[in-house]
Amino acid sequence: MRAAQAGSDEAMEALFRVHWGRAHRAAFLIVHDAAAAEDIAQEAFLAAIRALDRFDRRRPFGPWLHRIVVNRAIDWSRARTLRREVAEPVESEAPPRQSEVWSEEVVAALSVLDPDQRAAVVLRHLLEYTPGEIAALLEIPRGTVNSRLRRALDRLAVELAPGEEEPS
């Protein structure tokens, strides 16, 4: 971090490579939109660069970046909650491009959660923060985090249960 603050390209690249993948993946799992996830993660890095001089080196970079990513992803998802894409599949000659590259089942199950619940799941089970850390990141009570996680996991368990019919 010190070298990146001093202007080192190599240090900045190392910082980017370490953190990009998880930031991008977290954004994607919350917004379910590749373009938006890319924009959100990229914007978070640009915000980091803008604030690089003010950054306290005694604190870890990851949580600070993840906080920006998750909050922006939640905002983006809320804004479009009432305007989901057409659910009807497109013609077979134009297959969806995403189906080959990600775990469709889990991402589809996540999509039934509201953005706050998705964010809680991503922070807990992808980025591996404790409920207390999530509470601090999102500036919400720990009890709220626990209840979001509990409800989200209950719903996911139903969605991912083998042999169960899809909800109508």
Partner 1 sequence: MRRTGFQRRLRDELHRTRPPRAAEAERRAWDVVRAAHAERARVGPRARPGRRLALAALAAALAAVLVLSPAGAKVGDWIGDVVTREPKTTPAAPGSLPAPGRLLVVSPGGPWIVQDDGARRRLGAFRDATWSPGGKYVAAARGRELVALEPDGDERWVRPAPAAVSTPRWSPDGYRIAYRSEGDLWIAVGDNTDGWRLARGVAAAAPAWQPERPSPGQVVAFASGRRIRIVEVDGPRVLGTTPPGPAPRELWWTADGRRLVAVSSGEVRVFGARGKQLHRRALAPGLRATGSALDRAGRRLVVAAERRGGTASELLLYRLAPPGRAARGGAGAPPETLFAGSGRIEGLTWSMDGRVLVVGRPDSDQWLLLRPRARGQLEAISGIRRFFAGGSSAAARLSAPFPRPAGWCYAEPPEADGAPACSSGAAPAVPPSR
Q: Which is nearer to partner 1, 105 or 164 (CB)?
A: 105
What's the min distance (Å) between Cβ of 91 and partner 1?
A: 2
What's the min distance (Å) between Cβ of 140 and partner 1?
A: 16
φ/ψ region of 163 (left if φ > 0, alpha if ψ in -120 to 50, else beta) reads left
CA distance 101 to 97: 8
What's the min distance (Å) between Cβ of 125 and partner 1?
A: 5
- Give the ranges where the chain is alpha helix by DSSP (H): 2-5, 9-31, 34-50, 61-80, 104-110, 115-121, 131-138, 142-160
CA distance 71 to 47: 13
Amino acid type, 37: A
Q: Quote the Cα angle for 28-129-39, to 5°.
A: 25
Q: Which is nearer to partner 1, 71 or 126 (CB)?
A: 126
Q: Which is nearer to partner 1, 88 or 165 (CB)?
A: 88
CA distance 129 to 26: 13
What's the min distance (Å) between Cβ of 38 and partner 1?
A: 4
Q: Which is nearer to partner 1, 62 or 131 (CB)?
A: 131
Q: Which residues bind partner 1 (CB under 8 A)?
A: 4, 7, 9, 12-13, 16, 20-21, 24-25, 28-29, 33-35, 37-38, 41-42, 45-46, 49-50, 52-53, 79-80, 82-86, 88, 90-98, 101-103, 105-107, 121-122, 125-126, 128, 130-131, 146, 149, 153, 156-157, 160
Q: Which is nearer to partner 1, 59 or 160 (CB)?
A: 160
What's the min distance (Å) between Cβ of 68 and partner 1?
A: 14
State both tokens at 31: 């917004």
